[in-house]
């Protein structure tokens, strides 16, 4: 296949960016999208040009690093990660536009690479269990209904790639945050800190300048791990319950 690529190039966070056009010839339909970019970069290096910078790590669809916005969709036309997207999803002669995630909270580092450390800071704010929950044998002996265990596992499947933010017209991180809140709030080991956790994580999400959720469900439609928006509803319940409890304690203490 012959492919025309329009790729966003930007030298730094403060530099002015622009699209540059490249021709990729002899593209195999069996190549992954990242392998195609590897081949293109090899040709650019041979010409003495600077290669295109893009994020990648495991290339197995589990790390969430391959954050590319392809032809108007996070990770491309299929509901999968970019590293698992193959060139057979495109056709000979097609023009493919490749951009970085577009969000204030994800500033561009260079070309297609963005700074997603905002997600790390949200996790660090409360996405963990710090109280003693016993050893591994103790945890295995705690009876958890299968429905709850399945829901927690589905929420924990979030890889933090940021596709939900890129897909949202408001650049909201609600799907990511709600998945991380849910996976711990559902399990008994996470119950002790559930109120403090959701308040801290939501506060950090707001501090990072992510947008608000308006329930268009674009996040769910583009998520490569099919994280459900029911997590957002659960997080809202957790959050309002925590806020009201804190308010009652404060008012009660004042009396």
Which CATH number covers residue 148?
1.10.1060.10
80, 110, 140 - which closes a domain: 110
> Residues 191-197: what's their mean pLDDT?
94
Assess whether pLDDT exceeds 70 at residue 250. no
Q: What is the domain count for the chain?
A: 2
110, 139, 173 - which closes a domain: 110
> Residues 126-143: what's their mean pLDDT?
81
Could you tell me the pLDDT band of residue 121, with boundaries at 50, 70 and 90? very high
110, 133, 154 - which closes a domain: 110
Domain shared by 137 and 88, yes or no: no
Domain shared by 124 and 247, yes or no: yes
Domain shared by 81 and 133, yes or no: no
Of 11-15, 65-69, 141-145, minimum mean pLDDT range: 141-145
Amino acid 185: pLDDT: 94
Domain shared by 104 and 135, yes or no: no
Domain shared by 97 and 132, yes or no: no
Percent of the chain clearing pLDDT 70 (strictly above): 96
Amino acid 143: pLDDT: 85
Domain shared by 70 and 131, yes or no: no
> Residues 129-150: what's their mean pLDDT?
83
Domain shared by 131 and 215, yes or no: yes
Domain shared by 139 and 98, yes or no: no
The CATH number covering residue 43 comes to 3.10.20.30
Assess whether pLDDT exceeds 70 at residue 248. no
Assess whether pLDDT exceeds 70 at residue 2. yes
Domain shared by 100 and 183, yes or no: no
Q: pLDDT tens across 69-115, in order?
A: 999 999 999 999 999 999 999 999 999 999 999 999 999 999 999 99
Assess whether pLDDT exceeds 60 at residue 254. no
DSSP letters spanning the chain: --EEEEEEE-SSSSSPPEEEEEEE-S--TTSBHHHHHHHHHHHHHHTTPPPPP---S-SSSSS-----EETTEETSSSSS-GGG-BGGGS-TT-EEEEE----TTS-EEETTEE--HHHHHHHHHH-S--S----HHHHHHS---HHHHHHHHHHHT-----HHHHHSTT-B-HHHHHHHHHHHHSSGGGGGGHHHHHHHHHHHHHHTT-B------HHHHH-TT---THHHHHHHHHHHHHHHHHHHHHHHHH-
Domain shared by 78 and 129, yes or no: no
Mean pLDDT of the chain: 94
Percent of the chain clearing pLDDT 90 (strictly above): 89
Q: pLDDT tens across 215-245, in order?
A: 999 999 999 999 999 999 999 999 999 999 8
Q: pLDDT tens across 45-76, in order?
A: 999 999 999 999 999 999 999 999 999 999 99
Amino acid 137: pLDDT: 73
Domain shared by 85 and 125, yes or no: no
Domain shared by 44 and 153, yes or no: no
Domain that holds residue 247: 117-254
pTM of the model: 0.92
């Amino acid at each position: 296949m012959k492919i025309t690529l329009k790729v966003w190039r930007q030298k730094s966070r403060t530099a002015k960016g622009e699209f540059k056009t490249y021709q990729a010839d002899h593209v195999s339909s069996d190549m992954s999208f990242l392998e195609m970019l590897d081949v293109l970069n090899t040709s650019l290096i041979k010409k003495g040009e600077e290669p295109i910078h893009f994020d990648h790590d495991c290339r197995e669809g589990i790390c969430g690093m391959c954050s590319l916005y392809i032809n108007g969709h996070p990770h491309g036309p299929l509901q999968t990660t970019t590293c698992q997207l193959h060139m057979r999803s495109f056709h000979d002669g097609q023009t493919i536009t490749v951009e970085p995630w577009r969000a204030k909270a994800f500033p561009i580092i260079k070309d297609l690479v963005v700074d997603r450390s905002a997600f790390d800071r949200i996790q660090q704010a409360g996405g963990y269990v710090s109280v003693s929950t016993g050893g591994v044998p103790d945890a295995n002996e705690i009876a958890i209904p299968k429905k709850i265990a399945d829901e927690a596992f589905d929420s924990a499947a979030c890889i933090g790639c940021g596709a939900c933010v890129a897909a949202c017209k408001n650049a909201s991180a609600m799907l990511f945050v709600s998945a991380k809140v849910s996976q711990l709030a559902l399990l008994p080991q996470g119950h002790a800190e559930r109120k403090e956790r959701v308040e801290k994580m939501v506060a950090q999400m707001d501090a990072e300048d992510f947008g608000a959720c308006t329930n268009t469900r674009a996040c769910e439609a583009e998520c490569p791990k099919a994280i459900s928006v029911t997590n957002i509803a659960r997080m809202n319940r957790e959050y309002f319950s925590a806020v009201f409890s804190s308010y009652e304690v404060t008012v009660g203490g004042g009396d």
